[in-house]
Amino acid sequence: MANEVQVQLSFRASKGGATISFQDNFRQDMAGDDLTNQTQLIGTGTAELVDFGEIAAPYTQIIIKNLDPTNYVVIYSSVAETGLGLKIAAGKFALFSTDDQPIYAKADGASVRILTLAS
């Protein structure tokens, strides 16, 4: 099969009479047969390996949502906390694709639970 992964993005902001918006979408082939949708507790010590279950890299698309109401989490491409440096604020999410593998995470302030979806 082809185009098993579909991503749609819609962004809109409006304030004081000014408005901006952006919409886009794309379809992408999925390399393997596995999908993941799971949570993981991420600590504040050394960056931890993000568990994608049976999915083998390279990942087609990754969504990581920070389920914590207070603390942020940072996503890295190295246990040495280098590469990517994607900061996900409390309650927010990030959608990305990367050739970097594996993916690591480190919480700030206190441990946080993240939701990971990947294909």
Q: What is the pLDDT of residues 27-81, one digit of tens each?
A: 877 776 767 789 999 999 999 999 888 776 666 788 999 999 999 999 998 888 8
What pLDDT was estimated at residue 118? Answer: 83
| Alpha-carbon span 68 to 91, nearest angstrom | 6
Q: Is 13 domain-assigned?
A: no
For residue 80, give the CATH number of its domain.
Answer: 2.60.120
pTM (two decimals): 0.82
Q: Is 66 domain-assigned?
A: yes
Say how many domains are in the chain: 1
Q: Is 73 domain-assigned?
A: yes
Q: Is 61 domain-assigned?
A: yes
Report, as an integer, the average pLDDT of 80-109. Answer: 88
Q: Is 91 domain-assigned?
A: yes
Q: Is 9 domain-assigned?
A: no
Burial zone of 104 (CB within 10 Å; 0-12 exposed, 13-18 middle, 19+ buried): buried
The range of the structural domain enclosing residue 99 comes to: 30-118
